[in-house]
Structure 1
Amino acid sequence: MSTTFTVDSATSRATPVSAPMKRLTIPAIRRAKGGTPLVMLTAYTVRTAQLLDPHCDLLLVGDSLGQVVYGLPSTVPVTLEMMAAHGAAVVRGSHHAVVIIDMPFGSYEASPEHAFASASRLLKETGAAGVKMEGGEAMAPQVRFLSERGVPVMGHVGLTPQAVNILGGYGARGRTQEEASRIIDDAHAVSGAGAFSIVVEGVVETIAAEITRMIDVPTIGIGASATCDGQVLVTEDMLGLFERTPRFVKRYGDMAGQISTAVEAYADEVRSRAFPGADQVYAPKS
């Protein structure tokens, strides 16, 4: 049986422990079209992957790590090196979900050959199952080139964050008939080129519903529609780790508040010398 390496958090923060590999597959994700909605969340670290893996069908190593982890103003500065390092960590921390890695800005747009070089590097260095690529008709040749050479590609249409400088912001897309038609055409082009699924982000709900009805691969919505074949959110957003919550996010926790409360208690005990106590220090051997 093939194996992967995970971290046994019950005994160590760093010791690799062999675990059976029972991952979902790309064909299984594709067959989910029209069935039970797919669950996808972002992950950037081993421990986060461990916690999310039992509940998710897909883990996305999103280029959103540029903002979430590195404090960058957008996803544009993210590099292949960043994606490879975090992608490998997420693969090590999971054994059930399909792991998909974002292709960062500048790593695929120039040509299909350029896209293949970048994608093959990510798959080799991480062990991930596939890559995600933003863009519609203009990127269809890249999607086809990669798919025909054994690289599974998840498409991404609608609001494409890497194009923030052209779009002028992160507002919802498809409010005009012209833009709506273009987004629908983009989805058709990407699915027709061989994408195994498509993220539909930040679009008017009726567009997401129409795309989901018309294409034969699963759609993964984010700020789109409950009729999509699955949903994805940035994990840190849905856990409430940031003060600002985008409109399309539902907060399922208040992790920022819990962390603040715990750290405040720790700081108080350190300053009062209540920590460490007898249970946290080593007594001499008798």
Structure 2
Amino acid sequence: MLNFESSWRGRQLLILKGISVPTVWGGQKLYSYGGDKNITQLGQLYTVAANDGLSSIILNGKYKGDNLRNIYKSFPEIFGKSRYTEFPLLIGFVDAKEDLSLQVHPDNEYCRKYEGKEIGKCESWIFLDQPANKYIYNGCKVKTKEAVQKNIDNTAWNNIIDTLSVEKDQYVYVEAGTLHALTSGSFVYEIQQSTNITYRFYDYDRIDSLGNKRPLQLNKALDVLDVMKRSEATDLKLGETKEEPYYSIKLCELQGQFKNDTDIFICVTLLEGRTTFEGVDLHKGMSFILFMGEEVAIENKLKCVIASVK
């Protein structure tokens, strides 16, 4: 059982409802994480979301029924020393039954200049299941944008995109500007900057439910592509923290007293375990926000990822 007592002006733990998102490449692994079983191709389950397109519903306390974006905009002081006017993180799970599109994301500067957004999109994955072929697409084989364009003109995608070997329980950070794609079988915990902007290079000529090919954004993709950028896969063990420029994550087990002793909110996402709070059932695939200085008493052991913004 999870018990919580607020110690400052009614500030409280926020338990969030997951948001299920159908995709053309999704599967059914997310059902056991609380995903909507009416969606046959369930590719994404967002557990912490507060942007202008998606926002998590709060399941407990004084803000029950409201959404996270509204609370962040209305009461920014309770979230601590965040330097962002918009909620800065987007957290969830991805089930790639098929390969995702070859894609690249813009950085902060490009988003501010061309998309009217505060932040760009760097992202990280923890591989809960490894890809079927034990690699993802990541980085470029060629070293100039001119060579990329020439191969695009010849539809020679295999000459452009490189691969990265990855195994279960490994961690991958994808910096904005990196050409990449998850491949079939990948099942990941995902954290990213909250601006969910993707520029597609190639999508295997797949069609959506209406029989249309999904649009590509080749001009913007080439604008933001850095052919020298590529990721690496590293092991992630219990108790280990990964520090990135815009956020950090820690893989841990929680039991007993747990306090957020930072000066900003943290997002806790359950990978294993189950408990209840205020009549709300918390299970794997759910997240809660713990405010600065607050403490919880956790009776059952929970395997979690703790995320903090910088």
Q: Same-fold call, TM > 0.5? A: no
Q: Point out the structure with max Rg over C-alpha.
A: 1
TM-score under structure 1 length normalisation: 0.31
Which protein, 1 or 2, shows the higher relative CO under an 8 Å CA cutoff with sep ≥ 6?
Answer: 2
User: Which structure has more strand as a fraction of its residues?
Assistant: 2
Q: Which structure has the highest helix share of the two?
A: 1
